[in-house]
Amino acid sequence: MKIPSIPDSGRRTLLKVAGAAAALFLPLASRAIAADSSRVKIGVIGSGKVGGALGRVWAQAGHQVMFSSQHLDLDKTLAAEVGPNARAGTPQEAAAFGEVLLFAVPYNALLELGQSLGAALKGKVVIDACNPFAPQGDIAKRAIDQGAGHVSAELLPGARIVRAFNAVGYVRMGQAHTDPGKIGMPIAGDDKAAIEIASRLIREIGFEPVLIGGLDKGKYLRPGTPLSGEHTPDEVRKIAATLQP
């Protein structure tokens, strides 16, 4: 069967339409292409506002994401909305699925999760977006006093922890890819390879990661500290330089 040719004028119109459509999704699409050879399976532990926003943009960037929480039906609905790169499961299934795990739960839930997930955490890169608040009990108070970085490492034994996404609103987490590189994302961690992996994932969704130090600096990555809120990468570096050890 002979396929009819498209006149030059029609071809130009199609190319313009296709170009406009591609430009609309360029920030995420370009990152997906760049990361094509290194797609990551991401297990989201806690698929509320923060976990839902981050999981969505990572899935749109081409990674495979599994959402999990205490509400599997809601996770299935969310995964269906996000599209073919998303699925839902239990926290145990998400921990086994993910090469990288995002924890975005109330801080006092980390004790139980660390115990129930156990060996599934060994060697996994964990992006810790959990913030301790005094009303959450003794564990949260200890994290505030001793630093959330070290306490998270105790609660999630064997995980390679990188603290990030601790003081930027969840709405911005889903929007930064539209104007990439403008917002600095302070991060803290001790594992060089884990930091590199987390940094790539952070950069792919529009933030510029800024390493402020090891897990001891995790105490500064929570609301109410000088690093909370939105700052440019240079502003994050300047603030970090003034922080006490």
The model's pLDDT over 70-115, given as tens digits with 9 standing for 90+, comes to 999 999 999 999 999 999 999 999 999 999 999 999 999 999 999 9
How far apart are alpha carbons 125 and 193 in whole angstroms?
9
Helix or strand holding residue 113 (H, E) = helix 110-117
Q: Is the pLDDT of residue 174 over 50?
A: yes
pLDDT score for 34: 40
Please give the share of the chain, as a percent, with pLDDT higher than 70: 85
pLDDT score for 243: 92
| Cα distances (Å, whole numbers) of residue 208 to 94, 200, 203, 217, 240 | 26, 9, 5, 18, 15
pLDDT score for 176: 87
Q: Are strands 86-88 and 125-128 parallel, antiparallel or unpaired?
A: unpaired
Structure tokens, 119:
């060996």
How far apart are alpha carbons 87 and 97 in whole angstroms?
11
Contact (Cβ atoms closer than 8 angstroms) between residue 87 and residue 27: no
Q: Which CATH number fits domain 37-241: 3.30.2290.10, 3.50.50.60, 1.10.390.10, 3.40.50.720?
A: 3.40.50.720
Q: What is the pTM (predicted TM-score) of this model?
A: 0.84
The residue among 128, 51, 74 whose CA lies nearest residue 65 is 51
Q: What is the mean pLDDT of the chain?
A: 87
